[in-house]
Amino acid sequence: MSGDAQISRLKPGRRTDIRRENERAILDAAEKVFAEAGFGGATMQLIADMAGLPKANLHYYFATKEDLYRRVVQQIFEIWLDAASSFDNAPGPVEGIGAYIDAKMDISRTHPHGSKVWASEVMHGAPVIQDYLETTLRDWTNGRIAVIQRWIDEGKMQPINPRHLLYMLWATTQHYADFGHQIQTLNDGKPLTDTQWREAKTSVRDMVLRGIGAI
Amino acid sequence: MSGDAQISRLKPGRRTDIRRENERAILDAAEKVFAEAGFGGATMQLIADMAGLPKANLHYYFATKEDLYRRVVQQIFEIWLDAASSFDNAPGPVEGIGAYIDAKMDISRTHPHGSKVWASEVMHGAPVIQDYLETTLRDWTNGRIAVIQRWIDEGKMQPINPRHLLYMLWATTQHYADFGHQIQTLNDGKPLTDTQWREAKTSVRDMVLRGIGAI
DNA sequence: CTTCACCTTGACCATACGGTCAGGAAACGA
DNA sequence: TCGTTTCCTGACCGTATGGTCAAGGTGAAG
């Protein structure tokens, strides 16, 4: 049975596996190169080298540089949307916003490249993901604003402007990814340790939750 | 007399003026193009067009693209350092940090391009301004941490980690420049009005000052 | 007027880049 | 085994870019 399961997972796969593995290798390499060099500064050759494939092979899987870039941006966006679930079904701001901060701080640590690519994209006027901003992000934002407003109405936090609270959450959590290099430099050139990351999360959570009068 | 003054201001100038005006035009254009396209995506031709000069003329004033870029980055750094004076000679966090937030929010509004160029530079590992981070910025940071710590010791605010407070200040204020496009999209595609900027400043200041227990 | 330093610029060059393609290898189904 | 689909890749191409240069213009000093 376990044999069958294995076969049925691999069988329709050998070919599919090759494709999936190569796409994965390319996407990972691309995320890093786009983050470190920007879209304009990134070269297909560099991505290919980092992925361990000849450049022509990249164009077999991704028609153009833009296609590849688009996929990288979509990836981080989906990861963030998933993290947003921490927000829902929370009884109040302490649990909801606290969990959201935790989740976003974790992502900043585990996906710093994706965060930078997103930041870069938005800074350049979001040429590729403008539609996402106008649809998915806008809807998501309005939904959370409603939730926060409800918490305010229920007296669970101070009457602050929910929109600017969200901006502060995004800014502060993503800062640890986007400006990670600056933070590392100010930390004697060494990456934050586990303890320092915990300290960062606690500091951010405490300041924010106290700032909105939830604790 | 006024004639003399005018002459004495223009006299040693005709030639100098040309140089200064052209350098200014080039730097302004470069700041915008670097911010919108990134270092790699920016082209000397585009900067030249925006400055209204032939490309060859750019290379007369700035030897290389890197030279030009370096100057742009230094500019915003100095502007921020100036704003830091709001911090000093303040009796406590309400005045000091409040004024610092105000100043940085104003800069985000008036110099969004410079802020983006800086963000881009840091995100790409600060290849050009690493030494600034390790000297000027580190010293400045340590100085303010000491000030904040003193306020904490004097019981003027909660005992939070000063370093992470600074990160939050930088992140939050610069977010309004770096992610201005996203904010504008979420504001029905329209730039923030004067009123909305005031609202943003107040929101940020209130949340931060309450978050550190200063009010 | 002459001189000289500074400014301007069209034309040019070498390079590097994104993308193409043809031909071959490898995997799969029958 | 054979045919077909998928995958692989070295060689190549057109273009755009950063940078150069030589020749000419321009303002000011003597």
Averages of pLDDT over runs of 10 residues in chain A (215 residues) are: 32 74 98 97 98 98 98 95 88 97 98 98 96 96 97 98 98 98 98 98 98 96
Contacts of B134 in chain A (CB under 8 A): 185
Question: What's the CATH architecture for B66-215?
Answer: Orthogonal Bundle (1.10)
A88's torsion region: left (phi>0), alpha (psi -120 to 50) or beta? beta
Low-confidence spans in chain B with pLDDT less than 50: 1-11
Q: Give the integer Cα–Cα distance in Å for B120 and B108.
A: 15
Nearest to B123 among A120, A186, A213 (CB): A120
Inter-chain residue contact B172 with A174, CB threshold 8 Å:
no
Q: Give the integer Cα–Cα distance in Å for B52 and A14.
A: 58
Closest Cα in chain A to B178: A123
Q: What angle do CA B210, B213, B215 make, to 5 degrees?
A: 60
Q: Is the CB of B15 under 7 A from strand D?
A: yes
Inter-chain residue contact B171 with A167, CB threshold 8 Å:
no
Domain spans of chain B, in order of start? 1-63, 66-215
CB-based contacts of A204, cutoff 8 Å, min separation 6: A101, A105, A172, A173, B164, B168
Please count the other Cβ atoms lying within 10 Å of the Cβ belonging to residue A112.
Answer: 20
Q: Give the integer Cα–Cα distance in Å for A69 and A54.
A: 18
Note whether B200 and B176 are within 8 A (CB): yes
Contacts of A182 in chain B (CB under 8 A): 122, 126, 133, 137
Q: Is residue B158 classed as helix, strand or coil in its secondary structure?
A: coil
Query: Top-level CATH class of B1-63?
Result: mainly alpha
Supply the pLDDT for residue B89: 84
pLDDT in tens, B95-131: 999 999 999 999 999 999 999 999 999 999 999 999 9
CB-based contacts of A104, cutoff 8 Å, min separation 6: A80, A83, A169, A170, A173, A174
Closest Cα in chain B to A178: B123
The CATH classification number of A70-215 equals 1.10.357.10
Q: What would the two tokens of residue B193 be?
A: 């009005």
Supply the pLDDT for residue A5: 29
Supply the pLDDT for residue A130: 96
Note whether A164 and B207 are within 8 A (CB): yes
Residue-level length of chain B: 215
Q: Give the integer Cα–Cα distance in Å for B20 and B14.
A: 10
